[in-house]
Amino acid sequence: MNNKLLANPVQDYINANLNADVNQIALAKSPFEGIASAELATQITAKKKSEKKLPTWFNTAHIYYPPTLSIEQTSSEITANYKSKLAKGNTLIDITGGFGIDTYYFSKKVQEVTHCEINPELSAIAQHNAQALELKNIKFKPEDGIAYIQNTDKAFDTIYVDPARRAEKGKVFMLKDCTPDIVGNLDALLKKTSRIIIKTAPLLDISAGLAELNQVSEIHIVSVKNECKELLWIIDKGFDQDTKIIAATLNNGVEKDFFFYRLAANVEVQFTESLSIDNYLYEPDAALLKSGAFNLIGSTYGLSKLHPQTQLFATSTINKDFPGRIFKIETILTTGELKKQENLKGNVIVRNYPAKPEDLVKKYKIKADQEQFLIFTKIANGENVILKASIIQYY
């Protein structure tokens, strides 16, 4: 890392140019000796990307930023804070420490934290930033985390790992396709801990992950503003019971949880015999949908499902504890009735309906409206319907 970037005049320049054209800055001559224009552009871009995702870092003076890819790949502060609650005991090691966001939040919950990062420059950046953030209980090891655990005599109450998918792999992936290989090293890691927390992208199939891992006590599906951000796999040494699934939705400081045990997920659900005006339509958050417990969602919240393949539910009452969107149905239209409508307005949603939103917008000349919605879907008798609705709850 180039320590000259931390000088006050340089930091002032970075802050003054957060909204500037970084391409022009990168191509222009640097105003500072010993600092390349590309370095300035990188610091500006990375800091700007951190403004909403990492506000603690953005608002702390003399933070040194890594290349923007590291910012894009790191946890947000919201999800890092959530996973810190899953740590067990007094000692934790983060064997894929990276920029150090997760490590920071673990250090707020655990007495002693070790940050391992195989990239020595990124390790140095994380260590510098820990000093800027006045953290005293983190030890930094610029080395391979798996090797460090294998070679140390120390044991840890919790091991945390965020394995990266190998670049050559496609959309469908398995844990064994990641670096470091947690599946191949699981037994060795469990000799040094009683709990392992594994973070993966939500793209990983839950059944596939469970087929690769054992002793999984919990799986946390974490979403922010209806977007799945990560899966957290909790491995507890010796665990041999049913895995608990927790869908956690984190929105504007409010957390809502939907949880169940896998063997209890298959239940019968009631279907709507008919929809009525003034009924309320419920759309589960992305985290709940990722859980796969579609029928259980309905029975848990006392909702009737619209159709076996339509993950929408209805009832005559409002339950604001529900993790997801709630709409009030104002009009129910058939396709034929919709054709007669004029001046249609609404945010178009398509659920189990034989058309794409953009095609429907064009076909029916629908104008955008953020508060009103047109929901194209299918009900239990197989009929396609269009629901004019207003939104009551976003999350």
In this predicted model, what pLDDT tens digit does every residue of 44-98 receive, in sequence order? 999 999 999 999 999 999 999 999 999 998 999 999 999 999 999 999 999 999 9
Report the alpha-carbon distance of residue 95 to residue 180 in Å, rounded. 9
- Predicted pLDDT at 384: 94
Q: Which residues of the chain have pLDDT under 70?
A: 167-172
- Predicted pLDDT at 370: 83
Q: Is the dihedral of CA 241, 205, 214, 192 positive or negative?
A: negative
**Residue intervals in the chain for CATH 3.40.50.150:** 75-263
Q: Encoding tokens for residue 124? A: 């140095």
- Whose CA is closest to 316, among 280, 340, 281, 283? 280
- Predicted pLDDT at 176: 87
- Predicted pLDDT at 102: 97
- Predicted pLDDT at 264: 86
- Predicted pLDDT at 371: 85
**Residue intervals in the chain for CATH 1.10.10.1110:** 3-71
What are 253-300's pLDDT values in tens digits? 999 999 999 998 889 889 998 889 989 999 999 999 999 999 999 999
- Whose CA is closest to 12, among 38, 47, 36? 47
- Predicted pLDDT at 167: 60
- Predicted pLDDT at 169: 53
Pairing mode of beta strands 112-116, 91-94: parallel
Report the alpha-carbon distance of residue 124 to residue 385 in Å, rounded. 58
What residues contact 342, with CB distance under 8 A and at least 6 apart? none
CB-count burial class (<10 Å; 0-12, 13-18, 19+) for 134:
exposed
Identity of the residue numbered 26? A
Report the alpha-carbon distance of residue 256 to residue 325 in Å, rounded. 13
The pTM for the full model equals 0.94
Which CATH homologous superfamily contains domain 3-71? Methyltransferase PG1098, N-terminal domain (1.10.10.1110)
**Does domain 75-263 sit in CATH 3.40.50.150?**
yes
- Token pair 């022009």 is found at 24
- Predicted pLDDT at 265: 87
